[in-house]
Structure 1
Amino acid sequence: MTAAFAGFALGFSLILAIGAQNAFVLRQGLRRQHVLPVVLVCAVSDAALIAAGVAGFGALAKALPGLEFFMRLAGAAFLVWYGARTFLSAWRGGQSLEAGQGTTSLRTAVLTCLALTWLNPHVYLDTVVLLGAVSAQYDDRLAFALGAMTASFFFFFSLGYGARALAPFFARPRAWQVLDILIGLTMWAIAAKLLLG
């Protein structure tokens, strides 16, 4: 039970930081578009990465030093593109949470979510390397991994479906413009950090 709680606490604290993936889940939750597939993609991806880390896959990152550099470049390029898209959306303005609003297809939402998840080097550092390393301290590594996976499912479902509570605020087009600007700034700041760090 101690290992499961430790896994949950560490997993939750790592995923709580606002990043590109969380901003996308929040946006989809606010728009009430493809929320279940998006949160499932995030949670299942995290679970797979956590399992890999606990199983010792973190050694691969150390064995292939060029892998981190490649992941950083690919992730930064995607974040710059996605940030530009949200700035364009903010500039156009006029969005609100009216019924039927929005044109994001299921395919686009899932592919964007996959890219934000798997092209983000920080995801590998948090789930594979850090959680994998900490899990080695526990005799019951399976319980630790299940605790971290549970935190991921809890967080993404809460974020995706809890965003509805903010719906009245986002009924105003100006609120969407502010959100798009904040998301764009977040994406570009993470991209800059990837390129410079």
Structure 2
Amino acid sequence: MIRVLLADDDAMLRVGVAAILGSDAGIEVVAEAGDGTEAVELARRHRPDVVLLDVRMPVMDGLEAAAELRRAVPEVAVVVLTTFDEDDYVARALDEGAAGFLLKAADPRELIIAVHAVAGGAAYLSPRIAHRMITGFRGGRPARRRAAGDRVSVLTPRETEVLGLVGQGLANQAVADRLHLSEGTVKAHVSTILSRLGVRNRVQAAILAYEAGLVEEA
């Protein structure tokens, strides 16, 4: 069972999101918060697997809460949920260690997919946001690709394979199945990859995989 904490200052929206998540037998909403400070307190108390954070909340906004959660409950996967899709919000959310970024206007099924993805150790970006980022990668070539390639060159061939699959959004078990490795070995590879590349999380690693040309674009 995936345990979720939902934080949004709009009570009506919390009801709707909780209902969507509750339609999946594998997800349980264990707590709800109306601001970022409350979200951090409840996360410490309930230790959920996933925290869904609205960007704009009183007292402490979602991005500040994401940073605090990274310090206070580092094992929690954070998904930023917002009506806004400006690049600044995405960049700040990723810098604060978010495992995913989801638009409130997305299909309800996408919310469930995102929760399962980050709970399984994968990264998740709303397709609308991912598409814009990939388009940006195209526009920044070839200099950006060379720079990303230089960063990735420190990895071993096996780590490069793992990074490419992380870039496709695969969770650890899926990567393990693809490469015929144990899940524990993949986790070790991912940890080493994040350290060697100097990135905080799988989302940033996945973006770098795109920039370096390790992921085929549709």
Higher relative contact order (CA 8 A, sep 6+): 1
Greater percentage in helix: 1
Greater percentage in strand: 2
With the length of structure 2 as denominator, give the TM-score of the two structures: 0.22
With the length of structure 1 as denominator, give the TM-score of the two structures: 0.24
